[in-house]
Homo-oligomer: A and B are copies of this chain.
């Protein structure tokens, strides 16, 4: 409950309608909004400040439907402090990003947050000796297109106009987490298949015992 007050203070959550100077009424939308906030923070790993930006975008009625998805997606590139010692392979990486965009026929400018994030990731890979990793970019891009198509299709099928921005925010952030987890699982499977034991690896979760969640206090 004190956390809620905190979010209100931070502007993430609108204050409840005051029925009297000391009594506020919270409605359905508040609960919904709070769940959104928690999901973005806990699952998406966003900072409170980032959530604020997302919320602002969600609440802005001015957004044209066009580039709204892109814009919203744009706003939530989480990390990257900037890195002043850029030089490294960043310039090259940016070029590579540009090449990829044209090769794929993707609209979008390499200077966008997403493009820059890609360049940073590529540069980081290069700096640890994995410049060849760029070779798998086509496969990654293919997969990304697959996912993006699925996202769009889902949005078109199930999402009302007025919920568009919120859904994009959710899909972008939680989708990342979702896909990351799936990638992990697919990797586990693939590696077990390639290097692994004869056949059996799967089971009902014998080791580690992930079943008990109680591990943190609040």
Question: Do residues A67 and B107 form an inter-chain contact, with CB atoms below 8 A?
Answer: no
Question: Do residues A132 and B158 form an inter-chain contact, with CB atoms below 8 A?
Answer: yes
Question: Do residues A204 and B42 form an inter-chain contact, with CB atoms below 8 A?
Answer: no
Question: Do residues A150 and B136 form an inter-chain contact, with CB atoms below 8 A?
Answer: yes
**Chain B residue, CB-CB nearest to A154:** B136
Which residue of B45, B115, B143, B188 contacts A108 across the interface (Cβ within 8 Å)?
B188
Q: By CB atoms of chain B within 10 A, which of A106, A122, A156, A190 has the most? A: A190
Query: Does A189 make an interface contact (CB < 8 A)?
Result: yes
Query: Does A177 make an interface contact (CB < 8 A)?
Result: yes
Q: State the CA gap A139–B153 with chains docked (Å).
A: 11
Q: By CB atoms of chain B within 10 A, which of A32, A113, A124, A139 has the most? A: A124
Mask of A58-82 contacts with B, CB within 8 angstroms, 1/0:
0000000111111001100111111
Question: Do residues A201 and B140 form an inter-chain contact, with CB atoms below 8 A?
Answer: no
Which interface class (under 10, 10 to 19, 20 to 34, 35 or more) fits A? 35 or more
Q: Is the interface of A mostly helix, strand, loop or mixed?
A: helix
Question: Do residues B185 and A115 form an inter-chain contact, with CB atoms below 8 A?
Answer: yes
Question: Do residues A83 and B213 form an inter-chain contact, with CB atoms below 8 A?
Answer: yes
Question: Do residues A189 and B136 form an inter-chain contact, with CB atoms below 8 A?
Answer: no
Question: Do residues B188 and A70 form an inter-chain contact, with CB atoms below 8 A?
Answer: yes
Nearest-Cβ distance from residue A42 to partner chain B, whole angstroms: 6
**Contact A101-B150, Cβ < 8 Å, known A108-B192, A127-B35:** no
Question: Do residues B146 and A139 form an inter-chain contact, with CB atoms below 8 A?
Answer: yes
Which residue of B86, B118, B150 contacts A178 across the interface (Cβ within 8 Å)?
B118
